[in-house]
């Protein structure tokens, strides 16, 4: 991993084991590096699965495989390859996915459709089947490891491992949820924007787990952006082993369903923020809240227009409260807006209102706010009750440096 992001947490959190989940890592050497790059997660029989995947029209065969398998609702294993996205690789890429699924299914004596696969890294290079199969054999024999090892192994340009933990009470039982995620660039909210995996010991029926994950995704992973670019490989999967002993959740009307939904959303939000805080070259974490829009959807699109603007992002990198660039981003979003009702704030300071700069506003607190690492921009359109919050990072020369050298 490269130099740690200045926005990174001080340490990887202490994440508990999840009954029914066993994690192992191995070195398949997908790239010329001396690190583990294959993660193998074995799941207990009866594990439910749900997932959301990229909306890219050029998805990897791993994404297509998961799309076909998710509706079946059951999972026995997860395999994540790092260093090779296996996307835009034609029939050879599909053959690699089928070979991995077959090898793991044979090892576990289960159906290939119970095996979930992700790959991340360089696009356009077929995943070498011989390395994948050798890596799997090493993983099968490897000792079980902790979540930090798994989080490190799934990373590519990430500068730190990312994980989070929450718990909830469901029908009198404490259930645990653990998540790991990778992502640093090619991050845009066209579903999930990276690879993320949630594991819980709760008993949740697959259809409800899917409903809950989709709802959590809309408020979290689909509200982050680093560079507006949607990956070919974006996947978020949730696995519920049922080992907590709670009465299985089958409907949002069931006791404890609301608590589990809140916990899942909280976990996904934490993971989503960790991705933004590791944005390639990032030095500032930016929260953008748009209110007063005609609808929540409209507010969301306007917030993303601001978050994805290179001019806004470079202004924040330069600690310049250039609210004119925010006006520009609102105006180009293609959503209902009225220049003469528009208000803008940086931090707690109103800098523009009613279509005009606030006369004589004190720039000192704005300058102080922009020197910090956590930046807040607020926009009020004055049109309705629509509201949305998205999260992004600034744009520095570090982003160029990282991506100019990516394939080498």
Cα-flanking dihedrals φ and ψ of residue 48, to 5°? -90, 155
- Is 47 annotated as contributing to ligand binding? no
Task: Confirm or deny that 57 is annotated as ligand binding.
Answer: no
Distance CA 3, CA 8 (A): 11
For the chain, counts of helices (H) and of strands (E): 11, 14
User: 């982050």: which residue's tokens?
Assistant: 224
Partnered with residue 400 across adjacent β-strands are none
User: Binding residue per annotation — 182?
Assistant: yes
Q: What does the DSSP assignment read for 222-239?
A: GGB-SSSPPPSS-EEEEE
Exposed/middle/buried for 341, CB within 10 Å: 0-12, 13-18, 19+? Answer: middle
Is 332 marked as a binding-site residue?
A: no
Identify the bridge partners of residue 200 per DSSP, sorted by sequence position.
177, 240
The length of the chain in residues reads: 408
Contacts 24+ apart (CB under 8 A), 355-364: 357/323, 363/321
Residues labelled catalytic: 193
Q: Can you tell me the distance from the alpha carbon of 265 to that of 166, in angstroms, rounded to the nearest whole number?
A: 10
Strands 195-200 and 235-240: parallel
Residues contributing to the annotated binding site: 156, 182, 193, 280, 403, 408
Residue ranges of the annotated binding site for substrate are: 156, 182, 193, 280, 403, 408
């Amino acid at each position: 991993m490269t130099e740690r992001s200045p926005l990174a947490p001080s340490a990887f959190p202490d994440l508990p084991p999840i009954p029914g989940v066993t994690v192992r890592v191995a070195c398949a050497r997908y790239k010329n590096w001396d690190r583990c790059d294959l993660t193998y997660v074995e799941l207990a029989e009866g594990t439910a699965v749900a997932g959301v995947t990229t909306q890219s029209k050029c998805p990897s065969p791993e994404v297509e495989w998961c799309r076909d398998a998710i509706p079946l609702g059951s999972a026995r294993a997860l395999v994540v390859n790092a260093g090779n996205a296996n996307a835009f690789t034609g029939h050879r890429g599909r053959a690699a996915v089928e070979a991995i699924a077959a090898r793991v299914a044979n090892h576990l004596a289960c159906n290939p459709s119970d095996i979930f696969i992700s790959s991340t890294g360089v696009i356009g290079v077929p995943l070498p089947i011989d390395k994948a199969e050798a890596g799997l054999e090493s993983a099968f024999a490897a000792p079980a490891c902790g979540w930090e090892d798994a989080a490190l192994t799934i990373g590519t340009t990430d500068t730190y491992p990312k994980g989070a933990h929450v718990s909830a009470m469901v029908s009198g039982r404490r259930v645990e949820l653990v998540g790991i995620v990778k992502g640093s660039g090619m991050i845009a909210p066209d579903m999930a924007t990276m690879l993320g995996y949630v594991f819980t010991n709760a008993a949740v029926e697959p259809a409800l787990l899917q409903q809950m994950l989709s709802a959590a995704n809309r408020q979290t992973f689909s509200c982050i952006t680093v560079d507006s670019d949607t990956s070919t490989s974006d996947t978020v999967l949730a696995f519920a082993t049922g080992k907590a002993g709670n009465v299985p959740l089958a409907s949002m009307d069931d006791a404890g369903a609301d608590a589990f939904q809140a916990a899942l959303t909280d976990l996904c939000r934490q993971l989503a923020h960790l991705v933004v805080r590791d944005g390639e070259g990032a030095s500032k974490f930016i929260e953008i809240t748009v209110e007063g829009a005609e609808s929540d959807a409209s507010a969301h699109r306007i917030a993303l227009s601001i978050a994805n603007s290179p001019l806004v992002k470079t202004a924040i990198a330069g600690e310049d409260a250039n609210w004119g660039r925010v006006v520009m981003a609102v105006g180009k979003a293609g959503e209902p807006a009225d220049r003469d009702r528009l208000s803008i704030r940086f931090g707690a300071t109103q800098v523009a209102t009613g279509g005009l700069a606030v006369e004589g506003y004190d720039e000192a607190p704005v300058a102080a706010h922009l020197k910090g690492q956590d930046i807040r921009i607020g926009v009020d359109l004055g049109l309705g009750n629509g509201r949305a919050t998205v999260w992004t990072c600034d744009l520095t020369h570090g982003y160029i440096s990282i991506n100019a050298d990516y394939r080498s």
